[in-house]
Chains A and B, each alone.
Chain A
Amino acid sequence: MRFDLTLIQPWINANSRVLDLGCGDGMLLETLGKEKNISGVGLEIDPDNITRALARGVNVIEHDLNVGLGNFRDDSFDMVVMTLALQTLRYPHLVIDEMLRVGRECIVTFPNFGHWRSRWYLGHRGKMPVSKFLPYTWYDTPNIHFCTVKDFETLCDEKNIRILNSSVIGADNSQSPLANRFPNLLGVTAVYHISK
């Protein structure tokens, strides 16, 4: 399982109700269902992912996150999760507002554009970074709103969002102490647990 998905599991309570935005093939919800008896539903837009999630017994609703979460009632979930999808959204800040309206707590993970490799790539080559982790060209990419750890925390500050927990995953795909000491420089993926 992707390391960010492993990392966030302790923040999700047993028997809780979880909404997973951009749930992919349903791996996270399936695992949480088995290990924590959560009742969950995923939102997904990719047809193949929807079929895969259905086949593994995960509830999935075909839904475009860019239309918002207007279909869901206030506080209808204990936890709203969105992993590695923030940067693909047209209005990420509005979706975060919506997540905090629909769920009591939220978890957001995103690629940290402040990582030194991105800075180095841009600084040295003067070109938008392309890597194994983010393999797209600037003109043909699902990732239209990159941000850094610092950017995200600024947004939380502006919106009075409480950060309950945060962590980064370093280049060695682990939660290294060094990376967590300099998260904006050494974190490849940022992981935030937030609430209103």
Chain B
Amino acid sequence: MTEAPPSTPTADNDSVGIVVPQTLHFDQPLQLACGRALPEHDIVYETYGELNAEKSNGILICHALSGHHHAAGKHSADDRKTGWWDSCIGPGKPIDTNVFFVLSINNIGGCHGSTGPTSINPTTGKPWGPDFPPLRCRDWVESQYLMMQHFGISQWAAVIGGSLGGMQAMRWALEYPDALRHCIVIASAMKLSAQNIAFNEIARRAITSDANFHEGRYLEHNTLPKQGLGLARMVGHITYLSEDGMKQKFGRELKTGNLALGAGSETAVEFEVESYLRYQGEAFSGSFDANTYLLMTKALDYYDLAREYNDDPVEAFKHAKCAFLVASFTTDWRFAPARSREIVDALVAANKSVSYAEIEADHGHDAFLIPIPRYMDVFHGYMKRLKQELGHAF
């Protein structure tokens, strides 16, 4: 490389450290795409880095299906896990908190503190549950816009998201073209494929056919459809990994039992992959809300970037004014590289500034969360131009 790569900070200084989630209450009604309005709502969020005097260094992070506001750092010193995108957000990381002010929120309809199906419906005094208004991706963009106004920011340096987050970032570029300079879309698509929708429907069926689902009013029955939500997560999880990735991670290793002939059958045979998926399902079903899962998967299914632009993505992207970076991963079959390339081709045809990298990775769709060296190089390389726009010399 002609230019030295950014220094790799040590484990001690590349974290945003301890972060404290904040809550913001909006008491004006939020008009939604479905025609209904949320009378009031809360947004839980975290910020990393400092907003500069010109308020020109803001970056908005849009989360994916099961994501939330806790994208980087830890909530306490003995926190076992960091935020979901700690690999990319922090001092010296691609989204460099020494330079940028990063806002990460939990979207409405979520279940990590922002108003969603588990919140109390002010008109009934009971949890919203299945009565929570159906949401579209653009509703999240609207609520994110309110957050932007709250911080007095008139233009993001970038709106960044992976997967469903990338769909929000693209919607930003069309709905508020003057409100962002860059749109970074990772492992995403302009709309889901039939196969994607099919997997989402299995997940939803798993939830709604759980005996404890009670038409979505499980909280009123003091129960949770954990079995169904766990199954939904297990199916989802398979689609986030690649075949090779699963082979490398689990192979046919056994957690318990013995498959040798004549080895007896006292201990049940369990493959590592079974145990892993069950653990993932159980962990998720204890921490995520089933109605949120239904709502989020439907928002994903209904998303169609170009629907209102005569189904023509080129026509749609003509409305954008920002520059784009699009990235995909070779083994991602949930949001395959071909879907990202469709975005790129439409942007080129619309005469927009766009760069694209197809990163070789074994990790399937989950790769967007993993600090794969080439992914980080591409991300760093592109972010350099954002830093230069802010007048940072390198």
Contacts and interface: CB of A to CB of B under 8 A. Distances in A.
Interface string B1-41: 11100000000000000000000000000000000000000
A87 interface: no
Contacts of B1: 48, 51-52, 55
B345 A59 contact: no
A62 to B, nearest CB: 5
A59 B356 CA distance: 8
A50 B354 contact: no
Interface string B271-300: 000000000000000000000000000000
Contacts of B388: 57
B378 A61 contact: no
A59 B355 contact: yes
B318 interface: no
Nearest to B344: A61
Contacts, number: 67
B312 interface: no
B2 A51 contact: no
Contacts of A48: 1
Contacts of A60: 355-356
B3 A54 contact: no
Interface residues of A, number: 22
Interface in B339-394: 341, 344-345, 348-349, 351, 353-358, 374, 377-378, 380-382, 384-385, 388
Contacts of A72: 345, 348-349
A73 interface: yes
A111 B45 CA distance: 58
B129 to A, nearest CB: 45
A57 B345 CA distance: 20
A57 to B, nearest CB: 5
A17 interface: yes
A41 B348 contact: yes
A52 B344 CA distance: 20
With most chain B CB atoms within 10 A of its CB, the pick from A47, A55, A57, A63 is: A55
Contacts of B345: 71-72
Contact of A61 (B2, B323, B356, B385): B356
Contacts of A61: 344, 348, 354-356
A39 B353 contact: yes
Contact of A71 (B325, B348, B351, B380): B348
Nearest to B353: A59
B357 A62 contact: yes
Interface in A57-103: 57, 59-63, 71-73, 76
A41 B358 CA distance: 16
Interface in A24-70: 25, 39, 41, 47-48, 50-55, 57, 59-63
With most chain A CB atoms within 10 A of its CB, the pick from B3, B349, B357, B380 is: B357
Contact of A55 (B351, B353, B374, B381): B381
Contacts of B382: 54
With most chain A CB atoms within 10 A of its CB, the pick from B323, B349, B356 is: B356
A55 B394 CA distance: 11
Nearest to B323: A59
27 contacts: A17-B351, A39-B351, A41-B348, A41-B354, A47-B357, A47-B374, A47-B377, A48-B1, A50-B357, A51-B1, A51-B374, A54-B355, A54-B357, A54-B381, A55-B381, A55-B384, A57-B388, A59-B354, A60-B355, A60-B356, A61-B344, A61-B356, A62-B358, A71-B341, A72-B349, A76-B348, A76-B351
Interface pairs A-B: 10 shortest CB-CB: A54-B381, A55-B381, A61-B356, A51-B377, A71-B345, A57-B385, A51-B381, A59-B355, A62-B358, A54-B382
Given A47-B374, A59-B354, 11 more contacts: A51-B377, A52-B1, A54-B355, A54-B384, A55-B1, A59-B355, A61-B344, A61-B356, A62-B358, A71-B348, A72-B348
